[in-house]
């Protein structure tokens, strides 16, 4: 009798479902992080763009999230949260770190967008009697968005891929699920390829769509 045979079983159709579910979890945490992070990032970007002293204070802080590896940020925050009395599960801790990470990256994109709108155009908008916020909403937003939309998609896709790192905290997203399956089935290449295909299927259509939009807008 070979006892190992009872532990390891091959890759079954059932496992594909398990991976699919995990892919949805990857999608869910990235969607939350990208949407919240982008909102906060736009506010940060606006601060960077309009206020010199605000930018002076803000940019070193944002640089922390951009120049410390995400994996270190995750481990740090996961171990720091209990010190200030926060009880966070891996999902919560991972999400918070991802939101900050996204917002720091989006902030610079948003500043680029606001700066892409020429001063004369903004003065023209104001002289037509628009308020500051009307100018922001009807002039800066549409023009700036077109200028930096591809960059924003790049950040969003980056966050989606980087969400794989939340697996180190133990949140069972796509990569962690594939590791669990590898441990059980011992079919490393197959499962890594399937996980890769899931990521590819999430990311590639969006990047194609973004480059298509970019081409259309540049005409």
Residues interacting with other proteins, by CB under 8 A? 63-64, 66-73, 75-76, 79-80, 83, 157, 161-162, 164-165, 167-168, 175, 179, 182, 187-189, 192, 195-196, 199-200, 203-204, 207
* Smaller CB separation from other proteins, 36 or 75: 75
CB atoms within 10 A of CB 170: 13
**CB–CB of 45/110 below 8 Å?**
yes
3-state secondary structure of 2: coil
Q: How far is the CB of 39 from other proteins (least distance, A)?
A: 24
**Closest CB to other proteins among residues 111, 122:** 111
Tokens coding 51? 């206020």
Nearer to other proteins, 34 or 195 (CB): 195
User: Between 43 and 71, whose beta carbon lies closer to other proteins?
Assistant: 71
Distance, in Å, from the CA atom of 44 to the CA atom of 23, rounded to the nearest integer, reads 30
What is the smallest separation between the CB atom of 26 and other proteins, expressed in angstroms? 9
Instruction: Dihedral sign for Cα 36, 29, 101, 170, please.
Output: positive
* Closest approach of other proteins to the CB of residue 121, in Å: 25
- Among 109, 104, 33, 102, smallest CA distance to 63 is for 104
Residue 50 CA, distance from chain mean position: 25
Cβ proximity to other proteins, 135 vs 162, nearer residue: 162
Is the distance from CB of 111 to CB of 54 less than 8 angstroms? Answer: no
Q: Taking the complex as a whole, how short is the minimal distance between the CB of residue 129 and other proteins, in angstroms? A: 39
For other proteins, give the closer residue by CB, 51 or 79. Answer: 79
The nearest distance, CB 117 to other proteins, in angstroms, is 22
Distance CA 22, CA 25 (A): 5
Distance CA 109, CA 67 (A): 16
Report, in Å, the least distance between residue 116 CB and other proteins.
16
């Amino acid at each position: 009798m070979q006892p190992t045979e009872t532990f390891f079983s091959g890759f079954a159709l059932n496992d594909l479902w398990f991976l699919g579910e995990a892919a949805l979890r990857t999608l869910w945490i990235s969607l939350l992080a990208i949407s919240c992070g982008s909102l906060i990032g736009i506010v940060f970007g606006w601060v960077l763009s309009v206020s010199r002293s605000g930018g002076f204070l803000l940019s070193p802080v944002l640089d922390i999230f951009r120049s410390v590896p995400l994996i270190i940020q995750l481990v740090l925050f996961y171990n720091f949260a209990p010190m200030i009395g926060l009880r966070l599960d891996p999902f919560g801790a991972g999400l918070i770190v991802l939101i900050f990470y996204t917002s720091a990256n989006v902030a610079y994109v948003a500043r680029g967008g606001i700066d892409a709108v020429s001063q004369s155009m903004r003065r023209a908008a104001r002289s037509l009697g628009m308020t500051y916020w009307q100018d922001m909403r009807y002039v800066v937003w549409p023009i700036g968005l077109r200028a930096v939309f591809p960059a924003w998609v790049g950040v969003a896709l980056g966050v989606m891929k980087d969400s794989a790192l939340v697996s180190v905290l133990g949140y069972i997203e796509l990569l962690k699920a594939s590791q669990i399956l590898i441990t059980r089935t011992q079919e490393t290449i197959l499962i890594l390829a399937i996980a890769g295909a899931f990521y590819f299927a999430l990311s590639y259509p969006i990047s194609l769509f973004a480059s298509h939009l970019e081409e259309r807008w540049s005409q």
